[in-house]
Amino acid sequence: MKKIRLAIVGCGIAARDLHYPALKALNDKFEIVAVTSRTKKHAEEFAKLVGNPEVFDTYEELLEADYIDAVDLTLPIHLNVPFAIKAVEKGKHVICEKPISTDVESAKQLLNVSKETNKVIYIAENWRHIKKFRLIKNLLKNFKEVLYFNWRIFVGMKKDNKYAKTDWRKKPQHIGGFLSDAGVHHVAAMRLIFGDIDWVTAYTKDFSDYLSGPDFISTIVEFKNGVIGNYVASYSFNEEEQFEIYGKENTLKVLKNKIFYNEKEIDFEENMGYKEEFEDFYEVILNNKENDLGNCEEAIKDLAFFEAALKSNGNKIKVDALIN
Report the distance separating Cα 28 and Cα 47, nearest Å. 19
- Asked if 321 and 207 count as a contact pair (C-beta separation under 8 A), the reply is no
Q: Give 17's pLDDT tier (boundaries 50, 70, 90).
A: very high
Distance of CA 238 to the CA centre of its chain: 21
User: What's residue 168's pLDDT?
Assistant: 64
pLDDT, tens digit, for every residue of 200-259? 999 999 998 888 889 999 999 999 999 999 999 999 999 999 999 999 999 999 987 899
- Asked if 252 and 171 count as a contact pair (C-beta separation under 8 A), the reply is no
Torsion on CA atoms 300, 302, 308, 312, rounded to nearest 10 = -170
At how many degrees (to 10) do helices 296-312 and 104-116 cross? 170
pLDDT, tens digit, for every residue of 65-100? 999 999 999 999 999 999 999 999 999 999 999 999
pLDDT, tens digit, for every residue of 138-194? 999 999 999 999 999 999 877 777 776 677 676 778 888 989 999 999 999 999 999
What is this structure's pTM? 0.95
Residue 7's SS3 state is strand
Q: Within 13 Å of residue 321, how many CA atoms lie on the same side as its CB?
A: 11
Q: Contacts by 164-171 with C-beta closer than 8 Å and gap 24+?
A: 164/210, 164/211, 166/12, 166/13, 168/76, 168/77, 168/78, 169/212, 170/212, 171/212
Report the distance separating Cα 81 and Cα 128, nearest Å. 21
Task: Determine the residue type at 174.
Answer: H
User: Is residue 294 within a helix (H) or strand (E), and if so which, with residue range?
Assistant: none
CB atoms within 10 A of CB 294: 23
- Asked if 27 and 57 count as a contact pair (C-beta separation under 8 A), the reply is no
At how many degrees (to 10) do helices 183-194 and 296-312 cross? 110
* CATH code of the domain made up of 128-270+302-323: 3.30.360.10
Q: What is the DSSP string of 74-109?
A: ---GGGHHHHHHHHHHTT-EEEEESSSSSSHHHHHH
Topology adopted by domain 4-126+275-289: Rossmann fold (3.40.50)
The domain segmentation of the chain, as residue ranges, is 4-126+275-289, 128-270+302-323
pLDDT, tens digit, for every residue of 297-313? 999 999 999 999 999 99
Report the distance separating Cα 55 and Cα 59, nearest Å. 10
